[in-house]
Amino acid sequence: MAHGSRYKVALRRRREGKTDYGARLKLIALDKHRLVVRVTGNHTTAQIVDVELSGDQTVVSAHSQELKNMGWLASGKNTSAAYLTGYLCGKKAVKEGINAAVMDIGLQSSTKGSRVYAVLKGAIDAGLEIPYKDVVLPDEDRVKGEHIVQYAKSLDKADMEKKFSQYLEKGLSPLEIPDHFQTIKEKIEKEVS
């Protein structure tokens, strides 16, 4: 470790790898609402956050666990669940009178077509205006779960039951995911609007 009279210890959250203060200052300087997206191993969280002198204030929040309360039977960590979480957050924000925001992905790496950008696509489809480039958004088929259907069709029955055992335990066939996705999206539309 460096030491001496000119050495300055970094801020605690920077040392812990939790905050990139340079990126945060740029976002704060925009003086707009932020769509804060955090993706964990099992869940996705989307929040609309405002900066206050007393600290960040969360105005609207959506969590992939809320989808389960609406009847979502698939995993909370897939691209479809991330899209629906963003869609739910976007609908809540529009209902609160928030029409625009900027994306804040924190320290997560920016990967084209990832769950982070599925949340962005959901929020945009819900009516929020967020600056973005088209190349980062996932394909519509991937968001709806069509790739899962294609994969499930390529397996024989025994392999499908083994690979998709958690879905089947909950009563959802992997071949029904696009229809189930559309049902939950319509339910969000009815309940939040």
Q: Give the CATH number, domain containing residue 56.
A: 3.30.420.100
Segment holding 126, helix H or strand E: helix 115-126
Residue 51 lies in a domain: yes
Lowest model confidence (mean pLDDT) among 12-16, 34-38, 59-63, 118-122: 12-16
pLDDT band at residue 58 using 50, 70 and 90 as cut-offs = very high
Residue 98 lies in a domain: yes
Residue 41 lies in a domain: yes
Residue 149 lies in a domain: no
Give tens-digit pLDDT for 79-114: 999 999 999 999 999 999 999 999 999 888 899 999
Other Cβ atoms within 10 Å of 192 Cβ, number: 18
Residue 168 lies in a domain: no
Containing structural domain, residue 66? 14-139
Number of domains in the chain: 1
pLDDT the model gives residue 129? 97
Residue 93 lies in a domain: yes
Residue 42 lies in a domain: yes
Residue 163 lies in a domain: no
pLDDT band at residue 1 using 50, 70 and 90 as cut-offs = low
**What b/e string do you get for 40-64 counting C-beta neighbours within 10 Å, with b at 16 or more?**
eeebbbbbbbebeeeeeeebbbbbb
8 A C-beta contact, residue 40 and residue 4: no
